[in-house]
Structure 1
Amino acid sequence: MKLVIISNYGLNSDGGGVKVYTQNLVKTLQKRLSVTLLIREGIPTEIEQKLPRNKLLYTALALKKLNEIQPEFVLSQGGWFAAIPAMLHKSKHPDVRIIYLYHTHYDSPKTIKDKIKRTIEKYLMTFVLSRFDLVLFVSRALKENVETNSRTKILSKWGVLYGAPNTKFPQQDEIEEFKRKFRINRHRIYLLGHGLTALEVKKEGAKILIHTLKNSRDKHLALILTRRGRFTDELKGYAEKLGVKDKVIFTGDLENPHVATLCADIYTHITHGEGGLSLALLEVMDIGKPIVASSVGGIPEAIRHPLEGILVENGINQIVAAVKHLTENPKLQKKMSVISREAVKRRFSWEKTAERLLNSFFSCK
Structure 2
Amino acid sequence: MTEALFAPTEPLASAISTQRILHVINGEHYSGAERVQDLLAQELPQFGFDVTFACVKPDRFPEARVSQSVQLYRTPMRSRFDWQCGRKLAELIRQEDFALVHAHTPRSLMAGAIAARLADVPLVYHVHSPTGRDSTRWLQNLVNERLERWLLRRATRLITVSPSLQELMVAHGFSPARVAYVANGVPGVEFISRVRPTGRWTLGMAALFRPRKGIEVLLESLALLRGKGHDVHLRAIGPFETTAYESEVMGLVEKLGIADQITWTGFVSDIHAELRKVDLFVLPSLFGEGLPMVVLEAMAAGLPVVASAVEGIPVAVREGVDGLLVEPGSAEALAAAVGEIIREDSYYDYGSLSEQARSQHGANFSARTMARNVAEVYRDILG
Aligned partner (choices 18, 24, 27) of residue 33 of structure 2: 18
AA aligned to 2:204 is L
AA aligned to 1:286 is A
Distance 1:320 1:115 in 2: 31
The offset of 1:144, in angstroms, is 4.9
The offset of 1:169, in angstroms, is 5.4
> Which deviations, in whole Å up to 9, do the C-alpha atoms of 1:255-281 show, x marking residues without a partner?
323333222221111111242111111
The offset of 1:330, in angstroms, is 8.1
Aligned partner (choices 185, 204, 209) of residue 218 of structure 2: 209
Secondary structure in structure 1 of the residue aligned to 2:264: strand
Structure 1 residues 189 and 115: alpha-carbon distance in aligned structure 2, compared to 1, 3 A threshold: closer
Distance 2:325 2:174 in 1: 29
AA aligned to 1:137 is T
Distance 1:98 1:66 in 2: 12
The offset of 1:104, in angstroms, is 3.4
Where does residue 106 of structure 1 map in the other structure? 131
Please give the residue correspondences for 1:64-213 in structure 2 after superposition, counting only pairs within 5 Å: 64-79=91-106, 80-89=109-118, 93=120, 96-108=121-133, 114=140, 117-118=143-144, 122=146, 124-144=147-167, 153-155=173-175, 157-167=178-188, 187-195=199-207, 198-202=209-213, 205-213=214-222
AA aligned to 1:68 is Q
CA contact (8 A) 1:142 1:275 kept: no
Secondary structure in structure 2 of the residue aligned to 1:263: coil
> Which deviations, in whole Å up to 9, do the C-alpha atoms of 1:116-143 show, x marking residues without a partner?
735xx62x54343233221111222234
Is residue 321 of structure 2 the alignment partner of residue 307 of structure 1? yes
Structure 1 residues 110 and 360: alpha-carbon distance in aligned structure 2, compared to 1, 3 A threshold: closer
Where does residue 178 of structure 1 map in the other structure? none
Aligned partner (choices 307, 312, 321) of residue 298 of structure 1: 312
- Taking every aligned residue pair, what percent have the same amino acid on both sides? 20
How many residue pairs match? The answer is 337
Distance 2:291 2:23 in 1: 21
AA aligned to 1:187 is G
Aligned partner (choices 54, 57, 67) of residue 38 of structure 1: 54
Aligned partner (choices 47, 62, 77) of residue 53 of structure 1: 77
Structure 1 residues 211 and 145: alpha-carbon distance in aligned structure 2, compared to 1, 3 A threshold: farther
Please give the residue correspondences for 1:243-254 in structure 2 after superposition, counting only pairs within 5 Å: 243-254=257-268
TM-score, with length taken from structure 2: 0.78
Distance 1:70 1:48 in 2: 15
> Which deviations, in whole Å up to 9, do the C-alpha atoms of 1:35-73 show, x marking residues without a partner?
322222144855122223223221111111122223333
Is residue 376 of structure 2 the alignment partner of residue 364 of structure 1? no
CA contact (8 A) 2:132 2:141 kept: no
Where does residue 180 of structure 1 map in the other structure? none
AA aligned to 1:267 is F
Aligned partner (choices 228, 233, 246) of residue 222 of structure 1: 233
Structure 1 residues 169 and 342: alpha-carbon distance in aligned structure 2, compared to 1, 3 A threshold: closer
Secondary structure in structure 2 of the residue aligned to 1:130: helix
Secondary structure in structure 2 of the residue aligned to 1:30: helix
Where does residue 338 of structure 2 map in the other structure? 323
The offset of 1:318, in angstroms, is 1.8
Secondary structure in structure 2 of the residue aligned to 1:228: coil
> Which deviations, in whole Å up to 9, do the C-alpha atoms of 1:195-248 show, x marking residues without a partner?
2x622101xx21111111222202412222112313333222211101222222
Distance 1:294 1:115 in 2: 21
CA contact (8 A) 1:100 1:135 kept: yes
The offset of 1:33, in angstroms, is 2.8
Distance 2:137 2:32 in 1: 27
